[in-house]
Structure 1
Amino acid sequence: MSGRQRAGAATRAPDTEVGPAELAARYGLTVSGSRPGPAVYGRRLWSRRHFIAAFATARLNAMHTGARLGGLWQVITPLLNAAVYYLVFGLLLGTRHGTHGFVPFLCTGVFVFGFTQSAVLAGTRAVQGNLALIRALHFPRACLPLASTLLQLQQLLFSMAVLMVIVVASGEPVTARWLLVVPVLAAQSAFNAGLAMAVARIGARETDAAQLMPFAMRTWMYASGVFYDLRGLTEHAPGWAAALLNANPALLFIDLMRYALMDSVPRSGLPAHAWPLVLAWTAAVGAGGYLFFWQAEKEYGRG
């Protein structure tokens, strides 16, 4: 053996003396299907933002392709819901009395809560409804609940255009407060995304969650002031109950949107510390839902 061959053998010999873990670390190898850290996972999600947007848009375009009115159902559906609630709560139960501008008041509540409701219901099925895609392709699974939230936001934007027409037709002026619609929607979208990711993990493990979630959302809706002004309840409720009702994130988003669009809603009509509470809810649910979903990344699509 020449001197060069002996030197090459000497340099390769240590590879036979180290363990597999050290070799993997030396050559940058990782375990197949391993879960990256939350920061790396977030960067991978960001790198697939175009896929998330395209997936949401494709689902939106396919939703009403078989219907004669097509995409008009994106506007007709919330309007029909508002009409039914007006008949039941406004006319039959008389909650419209004492509420100035009850029609825009009701429509705002229905549209804004409907955004959260739809995001949660779609998020519950985000993993279970896309098992074939999960098992066929490798991508961060959080793309699915995020895409479902983006889909619901796109639908809401159509409804918001109709809502603004309803508000103006009801006699409310266009004011500078309308600019608050953007931060309110941004905060609610982040809140909904975190909530969608949290229920997506629950729905992936417990298939019955998709059947139970509509009942939970309906209960939440009745406690969120969608159909009536909750101040009539909080004024006579115990202190702890009033504080709990006023800290309801769905109520906060609805009240802030009403304040933004309706000049007849005064600042005093908002719960105390509305904006700090909204930001706290958005940060807690957005980050908490992300981490909760990320922890089970390796489990989705298995079994």
Structure 2
Amino acid sequence: MDKISIIVPCYNEEKVLPLFYQEICKIFAGMPQVQGEFLFIDDGSRDHTLDILQSLVAQDTRCRFLSFSRNFGKEAAMYAGLQNAQGDYCVIMDADLQHPPSLLPEMYRVVRDEGYDCCAGFRQDREGEGKMRNFLSRAFYRLMDRICNLEMRDGAGDFRMMSRTMVQAILQCQEYNRYMKGLFSFVGFDTKWIPFHNTPRAAGETKWNLRSLFRYALEGIFSFSTAPITLVGVIGLVLVAAAFLFGMGLMVRGLIWAGTVNGLAVVVDVLLLLSGLQFIFLSIVGQYITKDYMENKNRPVYIVKRSGGTVKQNHA
């Protein structure tokens, strides 16, 4: 009998966790041919999420949890879940029910019978999202498609069922700065996509505002693309060429119309322009240096403070 591990990152999800548990139990009640494991990762929640998880573990032997010592982020929570999951197939899904549990039987059929290593869901619309957020999200995926040698489609998220072989491949990528959407594409393997409609959260509030989404987008760009560094070099060459042509023009103008060029104004303007560009470029280069700095520290991706159930504790 196959075992399916449901990995659920949780951060302040006290309002929606009981609803999620009810829905996931209904789905597995209709799948008697498989065993279920519900692995919840409490990512340093500040509400009663941990209390609810302890209650679920006490009443259902399929439930397990890991509770972090602080908020390490969703990427670390997903990594911890994959490290500690015991199933033949692993599913990553959110607790807010925006990832439809009703798709799980079809996902299992695909990876079991059709030869795919992964079956992933993607949102075919963004109903209910703000226009600005919708526009920025689409623009980000178009940008990633251009500058990264990875297949990352608009609407694709973390919701997917993976074979044990694919999970092991992902766990071999042990970098500290993790961008799971990029890692899913990086490791390859055959993936079948199942569309679903966007739905609002069942309860509670989203943890993703424009600021956090912007930081997440930068994480993806700097983790899987060297295009910003290349762009710096290209702009540098363009500026050198422009400065050369501009300087030649000033020299010609000074020779023909003596005294018509204000040299001090030109120098000040050029210095301000180049100084501003230097700060921008240093910021881009600094992103890469910072990531290399963090990798060399070899810090743990997460730290477990408490656990429930028979969960093996890996802290790498």
TM-score (norm 2): 0.22
Where is the strand percentage greater, Structure 1 or Structure 2? 2
TM-score (norm 1): 0.22
Where is the helix percentage greater, Structure 1 or Structure 2? 1
